[in-house]
């Protein structure tokens, strides 16, 4: 079992840094999980070329060695580089897949009605990616289980990884940065802030190590012995 951060993500606007408007291109933290015969890439948010380069730098592997891609939520920030892994199986939690699918279809129809062909084309690309994402089973492989964390998006879902000496939770945007972790806060843009806060609290109850959605891997401050 091996869990390692491939690239550290960032928020386009970090409210806890007093940023009220986007100042950078947001992208999710991308994590690699190797378990048994599976090599799972979580949230490939960087552009394809940059992400493939990071894989080589951080893990010494190429895109063709990725067997599975898992999206904790469905948005450009988590899926921007997914096309680099066309030979892999693509997964998303069923609830996220269904909720975002309804939203995307509505947006495509609105773009068509407005005559915005460029937006419609971009949305149809998102629909095609979402359609290829299969509803993820409760366990991707032995020791790597889905951990639902709804709130920021309707079906946001982390991965709980049982390593030999610790439990690691890949949080996605449910726990975005160390500042949010320290202050016990969720993203203000959450679809359901109350549910997001419940998911945030559940993460602190279960994991020894947290891989944050827009930051590095950190020791859970609630569970650490120092």
Residue 226 has pLDDT above 50, yes or no: no
Query: Is 185 among the domain residues?
Result: yes
Quick one: average pLDDT of 207-223?
95
Q: Which of 41-50, 113-122, 166-175, 179-188 has the lowest mean pLDDT?
A: 113-122
- pLDDT band for position 153 (cuts 50, 70, 90): very high
Quick one: average pLDDT of 47-75?
97
By percentage, how much of the chain surpasses pLDDT 70?
99
Confidence (pLDDT) at 137: 98
Confidence (pLDDT) at 50: 97
Q: Which of 5, 137, 114, 132 is nearest to 59 (CA)?
A: 5
Number of domains within the chain: 1
Of all helices (H) and strands (E), which one includes residue 40?
strand 38-42
How confident is the prediction for the chain on average, in pLDDT? 95
Confidence (pLDDT) at 33: 98
Confidence (pLDDT) at 147: 98
Q: By residue range, what is the domain housing residue 104? A: 2-219
Residue 214 has pLDDT above 70, yes or no: yes
Query: Is 97 among the domain residues?
Result: yes
Residue 173 has pLDDT above 50, yes or no: yes
Query: Is 224 among the domain residues?
Result: no
Residue 223 has pLDDT above 80, yes or no: no
By percentage, how much of the chain surpasses pLDDT 90?
84
Query: Is 174 among the domain residues?
Result: yes
Question: What whole-number distance in Å separates Cα of residue 172 and Cα of residue 115?
Answer: 35
Confidence (pLDDT) at 122: 85
Strand 167-172 versus strand 157-162 pairing type: antiparallel
Query: Is 45 among the domain residues?
Result: yes
Q: Which two tokens stand for residue 138?
A: 């409760």
Query: Is 226 among the domain residues?
Result: no
Confidence (pLDDT) at 111: 86
Query: Is 26 among the domain residues?
Result: yes
Residue 117 has pLDDT above 90, yes or no: no
Residue 103 has pLDDT above 90, yes or no: no
Residue 138 has pLDDT above 80, yes or no: yes
Q: Which of 45, 148, 134 is nearest to 88 (CA)?
A: 134
Query: Is 76 among the domain residues?
Result: yes
CATH assignment of the domain containing 105: 3.60.15.10
């Amino acid at each position: 079992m091996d869990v390692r951060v491939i690239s550290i993500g960032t928020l386009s606007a970090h409210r806890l840094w007093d940023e009220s408007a986007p100042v950078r291109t947001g992208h999710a933290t991308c994590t690699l999980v190797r378990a048994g015969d599976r090599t799972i890439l979580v949230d490939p948010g960087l552009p394809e070329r940059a992400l493939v380069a990071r894989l080589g730098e951080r893990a010494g592997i190429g895109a063709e060695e990725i067997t599975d891609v898992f999206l904790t939520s469905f948005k450009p920030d988590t899926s921007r580089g997914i096309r680099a892994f066309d030979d892999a199986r693509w997964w998303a939690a069923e609830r996220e897949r269904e909720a975002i699918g309804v939203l995307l279809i509505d947006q495509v129809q609105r773009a068509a009605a407005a005559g915005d062909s460029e937006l419609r084309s971009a949305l149809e690309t998102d629909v095609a990616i979402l359609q290829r994402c299969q509803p993820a089973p409760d366990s991707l492989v032995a020791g790597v289980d889905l951990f639902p964390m709804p709130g920021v998006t309707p079906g946001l879902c982390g991965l709980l990884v049982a390593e030999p000496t610790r439990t690691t939770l890949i949080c996605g945007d449910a726990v975005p940065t160390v500042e949010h972790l320290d202050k016990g806060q969720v993203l203000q843009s959450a679809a359901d802030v109350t549910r997001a806060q419940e998911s945030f609290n559940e993460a602190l109850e279960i994991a020894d190590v947290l891989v944050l959605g827009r930051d590095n891997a950190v020791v859970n401050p609630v569970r650490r012995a120092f």
